[in-house]
Amino acid sequence: MFHWLEKHPFFFAVGVFLAISFAGLVEILPNFAQAARPVIGTAPYSTLELAGRHVYIKNSCNACHSQLVRPFKSETDRYGHYSLSGEYAYDRPFLWGSKRTGPDLMRVGNYRTTDWHENHMKNPASVVPGSIMPAYRWMFTNSADIDTAYAEQLTVAQFFSVPYNEPVPMKDGSSKVVKMGKSIADAKAIALEEAKVIAEDMKDQDVKDAVARGEIPEIVAIIAYLNSLK
Amino acid sequence: MNKLYLWGIIFTAFMLLLTYLSVGGSEGGLNGDIVNMLAVTGAIALVVITVFVVIKYVRQMQVDSASGELAQDNWDGIGEYLNEVPTGWAVMFFLLIVWGMWYFTIGYPLNAYSQIGEYNEDVAVHNAKFETQYKDIKGEKLVEMGESVFLAECKVCHGINADGIDGKAANLNKRIEAVAIKHAIANGANNMKTDFPGGMPPMMLSDPAQIDAVVGYITSGFPEGHKGAEAFAMGGCTGCHGEKGEGMPFVGPKLNGFDVATVASILKDGKKGAIGTMPKFEKLNDKQKEAVGAYITSLSK
């Protein structure tokens, strides 16, 4: 075999490449796989949160807001603990962003609440004087796309083994089960349950009425998503 | 004389001329400046040594022929001389082995540095400095610190003037507003769990007139002989909040004004009340919570 390889430099080069690649994979992959495991306290997105995530992407929130807290005192003072790679385990795609025109949102669920988001989305400058963020009033009337959110849930559960309907360990030692519907109607019912909790804390009567009718406005979905960022 | 040497000398002269011109000739700063002189001397030495070393080896390739004792092994006609290992090479070889061991075990830069390590050091240094610098802070200074924390963390909801931005959050310029009192009477309050573990059950008061009287009594600052005083006592408020709303540790918070303990307690647990939900502020340390308390207390005085 070696004599043959010696006389065929191309295949010899291929062999060398394979050997070195294998060595590289053995060294890099286990560490990488370890770091990419979800950290304790990171749960998959629920149907409503995923729909909100789609609203976030649709409106390009990530163009102005990052989701990545770097390990600097100045950042952790403002945004909380620096980000860990395992916290993005269920982010497809991750929304690190590349520029902070607005603040980082990695842990916004820790220090902003539903009613604040409602005021802020309606008119950002009313709570943050001088804010250049535009108002997102259409979110109060547009309906969230639960179908797509459910389709994504099904896909990631099947292809990436995202643990829906299974207990996920939380930081306080308890565990949390994120539900995924068995059918699209089931998924919509679950999302509506979540939406009712959010709408209860909101002031906008039109949104409350819509949720009572069984509709889910985008604002409810995106608030659910923002509240889940912890 | 070999042609090669001739070319070498011409090339050297040319390079030296270039060097001379590029530093600007004799007017350029060569006159008397020791550093420039040193640099030019170094440049001349480099050119001369490079040219003549190259010439030496080119000559050697031209005229030398291999000689010496051949090793017995022979690979397809390619042989090897039995030469001694050059001393300089051998010394360098062993030194490099020693250096390599040092580098892999101790000297490797990643062994000594990590970004998280630097972050942890930063935080430790900052916290230690904070501790010593603000250990005995009080009075005006504490209020000032509270104001700066307020402007960083609290103003997005409560507004720059702490007025709650048109009812979007609690107005902190007074202790408690009518809407919050009514909400607490109707729904109870279980916000400040850490400092008041018992919580507050929905109260016995149901008569709107009585509730209004209590609200009036509290918002007007517990005046002597107010008509709400009786309802306040009868509704069971005094049992936990005291006769004049002065509060009781572990039982009920102070209602006749802000104090540091009340504010710190709300910051610790967050709050869900008539207006909305306030998150807890775990990231503020105790001193900062105290400062915010002092600032908010100073607002309503």
A29 and A135, same domain (yes or no): no
A150 inside domain = yes
CB B283 within 8 A of CB A80: yes
Q: Report whether B168 contacts A119 (CB < 8 A).
A: yes
Domain annotation covers residue A146: yes
Which of B68, B89, B122 is the C-terminal boundary of a domain? B68
Residue A61 lies in a domain: yes
Q: Does A62 share its domain with A13?
A: no
Is the predicted pLDDT of residue B27 greater than 70, yes or no?
Answer: no
As for how many domains chain A has, the answer is: 2
Average pLDDT of chain A is: 92
- pLDDT of B25 over the 80 cut: no
Instruction: Domain of residue A64: give its range.
Output: 47-228
Predicted model pTM:
0.76
- Residue A142 falls inside a structural domain: yes
What residues of chain B lie within 8 A of the CB of A201, using their CB? 276-277
Confidence of residue B1 (pLDDT cuts 50, 70, 90): low
What mean pLDDT is predicted for residues A121-127? Answer: 91
Domain count of the fold of chain B: 2
At B30, the pLDDT band (50, 70, 90 cuts) reads low
- B45, B188: one domain: no
Triad A140, A144, A145: Cα angle to 5°: 160
Chain B CB contacts of A114 below 8 Å? 276-277
Extract the runs of DSSP E, i.e. beta strands, from A133-196: 167-169, 175-177
The confidence score (pLDDT) of residue A34 equals 82
Distance CA B25, CA A139 (A): 74
Taking 80 as the threshold, does the pLDDT of residue B31 lie above it?
Answer: no
User: Which value does ipTM take for this structure?
Assistant: 0.79
- Do A115 and B275 make contact, defined as CB atoms within 8 angstroms? yes
Nearest C-alpha in B relative to A72: B119
Which residue, B24, B48, B68, sits at the end of a domain? B68
Identify the sign of the CA torsion A73, A76, A81, A85.
Answer: negative
- Asked if B146 and B279 sit in the same domain, the reply is yes
Of A62, A39, A41, the closest CA to residue A222 belongs to A62
- Say yes or no to pLDDT of B164 above 70: yes
CA B158 to chain centroid: 26
Token digits for B260?
């540091």
CATH number at residue B237: 1.10.760.10
Residues B64, B144 share a domain: no
The rounded distance, in Å, linking the Cα atoms of A78 and A21 is 42
Q: Could you say which DSSP state residue B278 is in?
A: E
Domain membership flag for residue B48:
yes
Tell me the per-residue pLDDT of A155-166, one tens digit each, with 9 for 90 and over: 999 999 999 999
Tell me, rounded to whole angstroms, the distance of Cα B9 from its chain centroid: 61
Which residue in the set B116, B160, B279 is minimally distant from A111, CB to CB?
Answer: B279
Q: For residue B157, what is the nearest residue in chain A, using CA coordinates?
A: A127
Instruction: Check whether residue A21 and residue A83 sit in a common domain.
Output: no
Q: Which domain holds residue B283?
A: 138-299
Same domain, A85 and A193: yes
For residue A40, being part of any structural domain is answered with no
pLDDT of residue B26: 63
Find out whether B239 and B247 touch, Cβ atoms under 8 Å: no
Residues B213-225 have pLDDT tens digits of 888 888 888 888 7
Other CB atoms within a 10 A radius of the CB of residue B3 amount to: 7
